[in-house]
Amino acid sequence: MRLRVLGCSGGIGGRHLRTTSFLVDNDVLIDAGTGVGDLSLAELTQIDHVFVTHSHLDHVTSIPFLVDTVGGMRDHPLTVYATGSTIEILKNHLFNWAIWPDFSEIPTPEAPFLRYEEVELGRPVTLMGRKFTALPAIHAVPAVGYHLDSGQGSLVFSGDTGPNDEFWKIVNQIANLKVLIIETAFSNKERYLAEISRHLCPSMLADELAKFERRAEIWITHLKPGEVELIMEEIEASIGSLRPRMLQNDQLFEF
């Protein structure tokens, strides 16, 4: 499997800041933040599947534009995978005709441009030999992370989450883990904001990584613009021995 980082910032501002989205091979998105908009029309038409971690706008904002742009160019619907709770939020608050048309009924309910498929924690979705498994996350809305397994190696994305013992219990059992992408949205001086919004700051990340028993590359995502350097300095000071690095747009991972 090949994962390309389309966006990994906690906000926008300039060409280098795009919100969360990863392109897997040519046909799968993990979240659909603003980075999806940098893909060409030809690349957009190849996307068949979108795995959503949660309903917050920075992770789903490109789904409406994607389906509206390429729906009529395709011969089968785009499939959005999410938990039942997240699907209900998307239906009620995004694809509700008031914010955006309901493309699960367009052009007809029998042949729509968009369809939903519910995911369950721990139950893999297999697409052409690739496994995508939802992992527990603790956030301000119902949320998950994802475990991507090619058979040869695995990548884990935490999604947006606060402290989460159940996540580490599962991750520590992944024998072929190569890459861990984990969020750290706030600096230590904003720990209170991290706690109430169910995110991490560097001191909280250090506590979480103390539970990590595997050896893998560690990449930090979802840093707030304006605090990037401070957050990474604080991470280096507290857990530099683990060599965590900041995720960047257009990075490629093969596993």
Structure tokens at 3: 């994962």
For the chain, the residue count is 255
Distances (CA, A) of 112 to 17, 32, 77, 102, 242: 33, 20, 6, 9, 47
pTM of this prediction? 0.97
Residues of the chain with CATH 3.60.15.10: 1-82+84-118, 121-247
Which residue bears the tokens 């560097």? 202
Q: What CA–CA distance (Å, rounded) separates 165 from 45?
A: 39
Q: Which residue in 152, 119, 124 sits closest to 1, CA to CA?
A: 152
Write out the chain's pLDDT in tens, 255 residues: 999 999 999 999 988 899 999 999 999 999 999 999 999 999 999 999 999 999 999 999 999 999 999 999 999 999 999 999 999 999 999 999 999 999 999 999 999 999 999 999 999 999 999 999 999 999 999 999 999 999 999 999 999 999 999 999 999 999 999 999 999 999 999 999 999 999 999 999 999 999 999 999 999 999 999 999 999 999 999 998 899 999 999 999 999
H/E stretch holding 62: helix 62-70
Pick the CATH number of 121-247 from 3.30.70.380, 3.30.930.10, 3.40.50.300, 3.60.15.10: 3.60.15.10
Dihedral (C-alpha) 214, 6, 166, 200: value to the nearest 10 degrees? 100
Structure tokens at 121: 């924690």
- What is the CATH code of the structural domain delimited by 1-82+84-118? 3.60.15.10
